[in-house]
Amino acid sequence: MTEEDIVSLVLKKNELGLTIIAEKYEKLLVYIAAQILGNRTRDIEECVNDTYLKFWKNASNYDYTRASIPTYLKVIVRNTAINRLRDLKRHEDKTHAEDVFTLESEISDSTQNIENQLVRKENMNRLNRVISNLPEKDRELMIRKYFYLQSSKIIANAMKMSVTAVDSRLSRLRTKVRNEFNAQS
């Protein structure tokens, strides 16, 4: 069955289309959600189910000429998992400042006054400048760890490094980025 046929079924609200999508892509979606959410099995399942629901509700917006179904689903599950992680972080009250400082800096709090919003935006711009000035490999490490929220093991495999080397380098990079960020104040 082609992607067009599958989307056609979903647009007609035929559950067979969703069943086919789940059979073909569930492992991929679970893998992506698990990379972001860790071992939170219930949250991973909810993210994957939310992904199916979002696709079901918004199938009319899907354009198979611009992206394949798995690509479209990967974006949905990634964003859903990141949003879920943000919610969990807020509820758990476990702030690992060094591991989450980049993610938290991207969250805009609408209750802040204008001055605080401007300061936050300037801080984000300074952080982006510091990171963009890093050597390519260091920049990739930071992006993989703090934007894509990949584990050290996955980063090590992708970048052909040991897990210890990844953790050590990230530790040095956090210190370097913090020092350069503070120097730009």
HEC assignment per residue over the chain: CCHHHHHHHHHCCCHHHHHHHHHHHHHHHHHHHHHHHCCCHHHHHHHHHHHHHHHHHCHHHCCCCCCCHHHHHHHHHHHHHHHHHHHHHHHHCCCCHHHHHHHHHHCCCCCCCHHHHHHHHHHHHHHHHHHHCCCHHHHHHHHHHHCCCCCHHHHHHHHCCCHHHHHHHHHHHHHHHHHHHHHCC
- pLDDT the model gives residue 113: 59
- pLDDT the model gives residue 169: 92
Q: What is the pLDDT along the chain (185 residues), one digit of tens a residue?
A: 788 888 888 888 888 988 998 999 999 999 999 988 888 889 999 999 999 999 888 888 887 777 888 888 988 999 999 888 888 777 654 444 444 454 445 444 444 556 666 777 788 888 888 888 889 899 888 888 877 778 888 889 889 999 899 989 988 998 888 888 888 76
- pLDDT the model gives residue 97: 42
